[in-house]
Amino acid sequence: MSIQFGDPFEQFEDLLERAKQTELREPTAMTLATADRSGRTTIRTVLLKMFDARGFVFFTNVNSRKGRQLADNPRASLCFFWQTLFEQVLVDGTVQTVDAADADRYWSTRPRDSQFAAWASLQSEPLDSRATLEARLADFHTQFVDVDVPRPPHWSGYRVVPERIEFWRSGWQRLHERVCYERAGDAWSVALLNP
């Protein structure tokens, strides 16, 4: 079966749904690449939490290394690799902070323990001991006992607004299939790429 041309977001949704039907533990896992203002790159794996025609959204501590890099250089690349399907999707684009309503809406769906962890962790900062982190966690458990845990001011989401989306499928003798969409104003141009 060949990769079909069409709406790239619909294609992505179909592929993600197929990935969710496999034994993959985290089908929404994506590699996120960012760079600081000097161009020094960093990659890590984060989870896709929502997407639509506006882009692909993940949530994090905005004071983290990735948050600081995105403040300095609001561009990113994503890679979804679903090994069980022998397919991947690559996304390059600009990055925007999601609005407070989207961040609040997603925050309210997080498990309570994950909410406490977001308050306790000074993400990416040096930590003198695990005991220090656990003490901060205990403090927030006490502070927010019997109340909803509010979203921390340092926690929000980022939307990668794609300028380029590439669908890649493994092919026989490494003759992979590659279909590339590039934003052209409000539309997309599409082309096959050599493997």
The reply to whether 174 belongs to the active site is: yes
Q: Of 75, 105, 174, 183, which is the active-site residue?
A: 174
DSSP sequence for the chain: -PPPPS-HHHHHHHHHHHHHTSS-S-TTEEEEEEE-TT--EEEEEEE--EEETTEEEEEEETTSHHHHHHHH--EEEEEEEEGGGTEEEEEEEEEEEPPHHHHHHHHTTS-HHHHHHHHH--TTS--S-HHHHHHHHHHHHHHTTTSPPPPPTTEEEEEEEEEEEEEEE--GGG--EEEEEEEETTEEEEEEE--
Active site positions, annotated:
174
